[in-house]
Chain A
Amino acid sequence: MFRPGDAVMVRTVGPNVFSRTPRWAMGRIGLIKRTWGIWPNPDLVCRGVRDAPGRELHHVFFRVDRHGTVALTADIFEHWLSPAGVIPPSGQGLAQGLLVSGEQSSDLPHDEHLPHDRRSNHDVR
């Protein structure tokens, strides 16, 4: 459903609901950086459901300071995410800070693993 580079918002739930989605991430907009494949849905596993259906797990990046020098990442299951639309021009720094920089090269062996279309879009802007 989601692809690396997609902007997503993390769902929020009430304080009495247990989830492995961290509270600090709820309500925040982040960018999907990598996708880790399909894993059993922990929200069912924790309730004792055997053979819980798999959900896609995404590595999501959140910028937490104005200058983009501090970022948080968390692995969040797809059903906790909703599309956050196109990143507005004011979010350009966010996208650039997270996708087009040494960050990617530190995480992936080769640049060709970057989503090329997105990289060139940012280069154009």
Chain B
Amino acid sequence: MMSDDEHPSDHDEADAHMGEFCIVGMPPPTAASAEYLSAIGELLIEKGVLAADEIRRKRADIRGRGPHLGAQVVVRAWLDDGFRMRLLFDATTAVRELGIEPLTPSQAKLVALENTTEIHHVVVCTLCSCYPVALLGPAPDWYRSDDYRIRVVTEPKAVLAEFGLRLPSTMRISVSDSTAECRYLVIPRRPVGTEDLAPDELEALVTPESMVGTSEAAAVR
């Protein structure tokens, strides 16, 4: 599943116009920042910190990551109670059952937070933009924004309401600040009326936002 697919893609072709180095998932760099990035990349290679091939492989790996992986994990947890237990106990190990490996082995700790009728989890990184990239791909712009990072820890209910998420007043809210070695994946609640859906139909309901906790899984149409 996590193949180091290095066939040229649209992204690779786009990157070719920006020079050899870019930050995957970030907006295209300006001419000045591209030059800066290239200089850092060349220095890292020159000093023997990284090989050019390592950089290329890592970029290819990150491109293969995206919310479709997180959705597989969530749906498996909905359908398989044993997997759900293992996921909540040790998500790093559990997701390997689905063939999902960490991006960086030394920073591999993954933690699953399950939303219930009593508690709603939402995730932020107030320091920068730590995100479960291995499962969701690069973080979206709103997740990196100062506005979200500052406000979700001071007025989480208001922020969630702006995302269109209105929770019952009795619902407890837990905001997890991803400050160190752990990356958090929210397991949204399974929408009602989905008993007859196939796994791939369920996966379509699991939005990236629902795995960060700024929305619930989509309702069945």
Q: Mind listing 13 A-B residue pairs with CB under 8 Å? A: A24-B126, A36-B109, A36-B182, A57-B181, A69-B172, A70-B174, A74-B176, A75-B178, A75-B180, A102-B172, A103-B172, A106-B88, A107-B114
Q: Are B180 and A70 in contact (CB under 8 A)?
A: no
Q: Are B113 and A107 in contact (CB under 8 A)?
A: yes
| In the complex with contacts A22-B179, A103-B119, A106-B113, A71-B126 CB distance below 8 A | no
CB under 8 Å from chain B, chain A span 33-78: 36, 39, 42, 57, 59, 68-77
- CA A80 – CA B156 in complex, angstroms? 25
CB distance from A88 to the nearest CB of B (A): 22
Q: Is B177 an interface residue (CB 8 A)?
A: yes
CB distance from B14 to the nearest CB of A (A): 33
Q: Cβ of A74: which chain B residues have Cβ within 8 Å of it?
A: 176-177, 179
Q: Count A-B pairs with CB separation below 8 Å.
A: 95
Q: Are B88 and A76 in contact (CB under 8 A)?
A: no
Chain A residues near B (Cβ < 8 Å): 20-25, 36, 39, 42, 57, 59, 68-77, 97, 101-103, 105-110, 113
Closest to B154 in A: A24
Q: Are A108 and B180 in contact (CB under 8 A)?
A: no
Q: Are A22 and B156 in contact (CB under 8 A)?
A: no
| In the complex with contacts A102-B116, A102-B118, A21-B179 CB distance below 8 A | yes
- CA A107 – CA B171 in complex, angstroms? 16
Query: Which residue, B89, B109, B181, has most C-beta atoms of chain A within 10 A?
Result: B181
Q: Is B18 an interface residue (CB 8 A)?
A: no
* Size range of the chain B interface in the assembly: 20 to 34
- Pick the residue among B109, B114, B172 that contacts A70 (CB under 8 A): B172
Q: Are B127 and A71 in contact (CB under 8 A)?
A: no
- CA A39 – CA B179 in complex, angstroms? 13
Q: Is B219 an interface residue (CB 8 A)?
A: no
CB distance from A82 to the nearest CB of B (A): 18
Q: Are A103 and B174 in contact (CB under 8 A)?
A: yes
Q: Is B153 an interface residue (CB 8 A)?
A: yes
Closest to A59 in B: B182
Q: Cβ of B126: which chain A residues have Cβ within 8 Å of it?
A: 22-24
Closest to A61 in B: B174
CB under 8 Å from chain A, chain B span 126-146: 126-127
- Pick the residue among B153, B170, B171 that contacts A24 (CB under 8 A): B153
Q: Are B179 and A75 in contact (CB under 8 A)?
A: yes
